[in-house]
Amino acid sequence: MTITPGANRHADEAFAAFGHEAQADRDLYGKPSAFMRMWTKDAKLYGPCGDFKDLKFNDKDRAPGGLSFKVPYSQPWIDYFYGQSKYAMRPITIDLPGYRTPWFVVAFGRVWHRGKRWIQVDAVHALEHYNWIRIFPDWYFPPEFQPSKEHISIGGACTVLKEQLAGNLIRLQGPLWAIPSGNLFDPNTWNLLRNAFWPMIVNPRRTGFFDTSKWTITTARMDKYMDIVDEVCRLENITPTIDWFIPGEDAQPFPEFAHLDRCTMVCDFVENDPGFAFTGTLIDGLIRTGLEMADDALEWITYPILGEDGWDDYLQKAAGTLPGKPIAVYRTGQYSTVGKLEEVVHVPMATRATGGGKSPTWINDIVVNTGNFIVGLIGAALGVPGLSLGVLTDRLKDALFAFHSVENLTLAAEAGPLRFKETFATSESTGLSLNTWASMWSSLWEVRGYESTLIEVTNGSPYWIGRDLRKGTPVGVERANSTVEVEYVREIHYEQKFAGVPGRFRLQIGEGDAEREPGSIALGKFRKLASTLTRVALGG
């Protein structure tokens, strides 16, 4: 066997290049230091902040996290916090390697700490905006005229969420049917088309025909947008994102649609594990939704034939066609880099859901007319012509096809006859509607049985935030039985004591929804809430 010097040299060069790249990653991602910038209420740069201390933030998936830090009580920050209008919005951006988060100050005040005066700042993530947007039935009409009663959306989950947000942002930012805010003598203030898409804009990519997410249906009547986002994103495994775009520093997010020339919040919804694609269009989402519905219907047919063991084998094979694609796998053995691991099993509180409450209008008409006809015949036989139901009319309404029930047969067999049985879905519609169908499965998801996993890991052990991991990234977690479960990055915590000193990341992988209260107290709260929602849904 002969080894040429040239081959050795190439191997050495490749190894050196690999080592240099690995060291560069360690230097960049392994010693993160936050770059903080303060912005004015008009999204113009006020200046960078390099003298903060005690910086902490918690960036959550599907919920607005929090940020806190202190700055010296010096003239630049006195001007920023006390020189502006007291209630002016104060945006803040935190840049870390491959990772930027936008925040909005919600509280600030003077504090005395260790013989020095500081300004304590508390902020909330930009997702908080979604808590303060209401979904109008008809966003293009004034609030006094909403003829549709409800805003109904059906289609790919990402398209549904973007459509609702885009329309109501136009209503609020335009603004439509209202006097615009700002300098009324500035012509740009009255440029409704320009203002409608600033300071927040929805990413138009991957919508409509090009949306491959699973199909969903939502109804809203002045509902809080964050509630809709939370429900749809949890069920369809979608991560809502808001990015702070800086022109000249960041690449244009969608140049084929628009050119952004101001700092803008770009809103998007990213499906975490689309699984597979047939066409790369909305047909994919429809096919995937159809497969789920067909699988649900198939259970009623095949489960009695296959039995519990056979059905589990079938599910295992079916699930193999839609694999999660974890980038990182964390081991939990003797030499694991995982600092903390919690695994808690939660039993299901119901296997059956009933929804509805109102009969279709045409059913009510048939029932009432039939009742009047029968009563009229009886009246004619008794010599009292023209007899009708009268005050008894309402007793016949909402009695036929008003409710519908679904049950997870696999879960029911697994839980046994002593299981907790049923929950109610507050759909406020008929038992035959798509809205009720979706609401029933959503209610079962809320009370599902699951195993919550919470692991805490250190950045760079061995994966880096900003390069390998982000919110919503699928991650493999080794369980105690040596199997690997796919979880998702749900929270990113960051702490940095002083500016210029490297900070420290901490990840939460998995929901970690372990029950912290005594069971009787928690169940009492749940029962009270459920009964209240049921009465509201039925109009009682």
As to burial, measured by CB atoms within 10 angstroms (0-12 exposed, 13-18 middle, 19+ buried), residue 230 is: middle
**Whole-number Å distance between alpha carbons of 129 and 133:** 7
Q: What is the pLDDT of residue 12?
A: 66
Q: b vs e for 501-515, b when ≥16 Cβ sit within 10 Å of the residue's Cβ?
A: eebebbbbbbbbeee
Query: In angstroms, what is the C-alpha Rg of the chain?
Result: 29
**Do 69 and 247 meet the contact criterion of CB atoms below 8 Å apart?**
no
Strands 328-330 and 474-478: parallel
Dihedral, CA atoms, 272, 28, 63, 102, nearest 10 degrees? -120
Its pTM stands at 0.68
| Residue 451 one-letter amino acid | E
**Whole-number Å distance between alpha carbons of 465 and 292:** 33
For tokens 């409704």, name the residue: 192
Q: What is the pLDDT of residue 379?
A: 83
Q: What is the pLDDT of residue 292?
A: 54
DSSP 98: T
Retrieve residue 427's tokens. Answer: 């759909």
**Whole-number Å distance between alpha carbons of 338 and 328:** 13
**Do 454 and 351 meet the contact criterion of CB atoms below 8 Å apart?**
no
**Gap between the terminal Cα atoms of the chain:** 89
| Per-residue tens of pLDDT for the chain, all 540 residues | 455 555 566 666 666 676 777 777 777 787 888 999 999 998 999 999 999 999 999 999 999 999 999 999 999 999 999 898 888 889 999 999 989 999 999 889 888 777 788 999 999 999 999 999 989 888 988 886 888 878 999 999 999 999 999 999 998 888 777 667 667 777 777 778 788 899 999 999 999 888 888 888 898 888 889 999 999 998 888 999 999 999 999 999 999 999 999 999 999 999 886 544 444 454 555 555 555 545 544 444 343 444 444 444 444 444 333 334 445 777 776 667 777 776 666 667 777 787 777 777 778 788 888 888 888 888 888 887 777 777 677 777 776 777 777 888 787 777 677 666 677 776 666 666 677 777 787 788 887 777 666 777 777 777 888 888 888 888 887 776 677 777 788 888 899 988 888 888 888 877 655 433 333 333 333 433 443 343 344 443
What does each C-alpha distance from 310 to 23, 175, 306, 315, 318 come to in angstroms? Answer: 51, 59, 5, 9, 12
| CA of residue 49 relative to chain centroid, distance | 31
**Whole-number Å distance between alpha carbons of 399 and 32:** 63
The secondary element (H helix, E strand) that includes residue 495 is strand 484-498
**Do 415 and 350 meet the contact criterion of CB atoms below 8 Å apart?**
no
Retrieve residue 469's tokens. Answer: 């991991």
The secondary element (H helix, E strand) that includes residue 25 is helix 5-29
Q: What is the pLDDT of residue 39?
A: 95
**Whole-number Å distance between alpha carbons of 84 and 87:** 8
